[in-house]
Amino acid sequence: MSKGVIFSGMQPSGRFHLGNYMGALENWIRLQNDYDCVFSIVDLHALTSSYDDTSKLQDNIREMAIDWLSAGLDPEKNIIFVQSHVKEHAELCLLLGMNTPLSWLERVPTYKDKIVNLGSQGKDMHTYGFLGYPVLMAADIMLYHANYVPVGEDQAAHLELTREMVRRFHTLYHCNIFPEPQPVYSKAKVLPGIDGRKMSKSYGNTIPFGASPEEVTARINQMVTDKTRIRKTDPGHPDDCVVFKFQQVFNTEEAPTICERCKAGDIGCVACKKALAAKMNALLSGIHAKRQELEKRPDYIQEVLDNGAKRAQVIAAKNMAEIKKVMNVL
C-alpha cells in the first residue's frame, strides 16, 4: 500500500554532482518503494535563471534523465517526466499567480540573495519569472496533491510558501482539495567540495556523478588535507580535513578508526585517501557503468520521458479540472 503521494523536482542546469546525489536523489531512491512518486526534470524552473542562453537545455535534460536512471530511480515504480511536457504546470502557475501576494514572494530569503549573487556575476535577475519561481514550484506540488516533498533544507522557505498558498486557496474558494505538503529533508548535510566549500558547480570543486573510478581517485588526490601535517607521524586534525568529511559520509564504518589513527599520527594522508577512494569507487563504479550503457540508448531515454509525461498528464488534467471548477474558470 502506498503511504501517500510524493512530488519532487530538480533543475536541469548542467552536470549533476555528488552533492546533488547525497542532498536529494539518494532520498528519492529510498522513498520510491513506499510512496506514489512523481519526479520532474523542471526545465521551466531552469529558465528562470538561464533565460539568456537556452542552447544547452535539451542536452541537460537528457543528462539529468541518465543520471537519475543510472542512480537507480525506477521508471516502472515512479512517474519520471519533463515539467514543460505537461502544460498544466504552466496553467496552474498562472492561476495561482492571480492570488499570490507580491509581499510573500519578495520576502523569500533566497530571492534577494540570488538577485545580489547572480547580479554580481552580471546577470539581471529582476524578471517576472524569477520572482514567480516559488509559485511555479507550488503549482508543481499542488497539481499532484502531493503529501510529501523530499528536498534539501535550502528549499524550506519555498515549501512553507506552498503551504501558505494551499491554505489561502482553500479560504478563497471555499474548498479543501489539497493536502498541506510536508517537507522530507535528506539525512546528509551539505557535502563539501574538494576545496572544503559547499560542493557546487559554480565553484568548480565538484566530483561529477557518474565519474569514472580514475576521475574519482584523481579528485580525491586533489583534496587539501591538514596543512600543518608535514610528516605522516605528525598528529593530524581530522575535524579540519575535507578527506575526513568524505570518510564520514562514504566510509562510515572505518571513519572512527581513521579519526583516531590520524590524531595519533598513525595513518598518513596517502593511505587515508586510498581507503576513501576504494569505498567511493565501490559505490560509484556501478553507477558509472550503468551511465555509459544508457548513453548509448537515447531512444530508451526518450521513451521513458514520453511515457512519464503521459502518465503525469492524466493526473494533472483530472486535478486541473477540479481546480478550475472551484475557481469558476470553466
268 binds, among ligand TRP, ligand AMP, none (CB under 5 to 8 A by kind): none
9 binds, among ligand TRP, ligand AMP, none (CB under 5 to 8 A by kind): ligand TRP
Cβ atoms 156, 99 nearer than 8 A: no
Site string for ligand TRP, 151-190 (x = CB under 6 A): x---x--x--------------------------------
20 binds, among ligand TRP, ligand AMP, none (CB under 5 to 8 A by kind): ligand AMP
Closest to ligand TRP by CB, 45 vs 291, is 45
Check residue 8 for interaction with ligand TRP (CB under 6 A). Answer: yes
Helix 109-120 to helix 156-173 angle (10° resolution) is 130
Check residue 184 for interaction with ligand AMP (CB under 6 A). Answer: no
CA distance 323 to 330: 10
Cβ atoms 114, 32 nearer than 8 A: no
CA distance 74 to 59: 21
Out of 11, 32, 147, 217, name the contact with ligand AMP by CB under 6 A. 11
Out of 5, 41, 66, 141, name the contact with ligand TRP by CB under 6 A. 141
Look at the alpha carbons of 62, 68, 72, 73 in this order and tell me if their dihedral is positive or negative.
negative
Out of 6, 11, 169, 268, name the contact with ligand TRP by CB under 6 A. 11
Beta bridge partners of 9: 40
238 binds, among ligand AMP, ligand TRP, none (CB under 5 to 8 A by kind): none
- DSSP letters, 216-278, are HHHHHHHS---TT--STTSPP-GGG-HHHHHHHHH-TTTHHHHHHHHHTT-S-HHHHHHHHHH
Q: How many residues bind ligand AMP (CB under 6 A)?
A: 15
Interacting residues with ligand TRP (CB under 6 A): 7-11, 42, 45, 137, 140-141, 149, 151, 155, 158
